[in-house]
Structure 1
C-alpha cells in the first residue's frame, strides 16, 4: 500500500479552504441577521440585513446539501 502524499495534501487544502469559506459565509449571515434585528428594535427595517442573512443561509444549506449528495451513493 502506498500513499499519494500530493493528493492527500490537495484534499486537505481544499477541505480547510471550504471549511473556512463556510464559516465566513455563516458569520456574514449572522451579521446580517443582527443588523436586521438592530434596525427592527430602532423602529425601522433593514432589507439589506434580511437579504444578507437569507442569502448566506441559503449558501450554507447548498454546501451542506452538496456534501450530502457527494457522500450518499444512492443520490448518484
Structure 2
C-alpha cells in the first residue's frame, strides 16, 4: 500500500529503503524482505537507478497494474 500511494499514473515510484523503513517504523531488513516477496509474487518489479557520477541511487519500483477485464 505504501508504494501504491506514492506511485505515479504508470505505477512507478522510487523511495529509498531507509525512507520506507523510517516512515513505516520498520527495520530496513523487514522492508527489503517485503519488497523481495512482492517481486517474487509478480506484484512489483525493481530496477536500480544510477546518479550522473556513477553512484547508486534509490531503486525504481514498477507496480503491477491490475488486469482490466
TM-score, normalised to structure 1, is 0.28
Larger Rg: 1
TM-score, normalised to structure 2, is 0.30
Q: By percentage of residues, which structure has more helix?
A: 1
